[in-house]
Structure 1
Amino acid sequence: MSIEAVTAGNELMQQMRVLAAEAASIAPAAPEPALGGGVPADFASYMQASIQGVNAQQLDASARMQAVEAGESTDLVGTMISSQKASLSFSALVQVRNKLMSGLDDIMDMAL
């Protein structure tokens, strides 16, 4: 296994940890089987929680933008910060997806 593959795997895991931490702080997740430290027991649960967290951030940002546009809120700074957080979370999620797909392609190209 090359150093680049190990480095890419480590970066991917770090990105997923960040997304999971954000997801846990935004919306309460349904109880999941967990290992020590609150980490979901399987990868699918981990990714689902991350996607739900990013979705919650995007919905919150959208609601804040609509409130500002309708004149119901004057918190423009909070709205812009919320929007940037949602954008950054979505970008990170897309990068994780791209890394996973690249890793899967690498595995599929391996000779047996």
Structure 2
Amino acid sequence: MSDNMRVDSILSQIRAIRNEAKPAAIEGLNPVKEAQPAQDSFAKMLTDSVNAVSDTQKSASDLAQAFERGDKNVSLAEVMVASQKANVSFTAMVEVRNKMIDAYQEVMRMSV
């Protein structure tokens, strides 16, 4: 459940950042003044997300190694579920990265 909570936390952070950005664009606030705090929180969110994916992968790896050693407290089902969670979280992270690269390339193609 903690992996689901992390994903929900990340999604709520993304929504909060999106909601913060909309009023600034509508009200015509100075984007230069607001850029640094948003940039810091976005960088922190990305770092936290990557760390969460890394933790999920490490947890799955640890469970697999415990199962391979013959630990009676670890079942094959637990190992497979943890492995799939790690796979899904990594795939989601790669897709987010791809979307960010696409957005960056689109911005770079814009004429000023």
TM-score (norm 2): 0.64
CA apart distance, 1:20: 5.9
Match of 1:66 in 2: 65
The separation in 2 between residues aligned to 1:76 and 1:67, in whole angstroms, is: 10
Alignment of 1:1-112 (within 5 A): 19=7, 21=9, 42-73=41-72, 74-112=74-112
Match of 1:25 in 2: none
Q: Which has the higher helix share?
A: 2
Runs of 4 or more above 3 Å deviation: none
**Alignment RMSD (CA, Å):** 2.2
Contact 1:65 1:79 in 2 (8 A): yes
CA apart distance, 1:85: 0.3
- Where 1:42 maps in the other structure, the secondary structure is helix
Give the aligned length: 79
Q: For structure 2, which runs of at least 5 residues remain unmatched after alignment?
A: 1-5, 11-16, 18-37
- Where 1:106 maps in the other structure, the secondary structure is helix
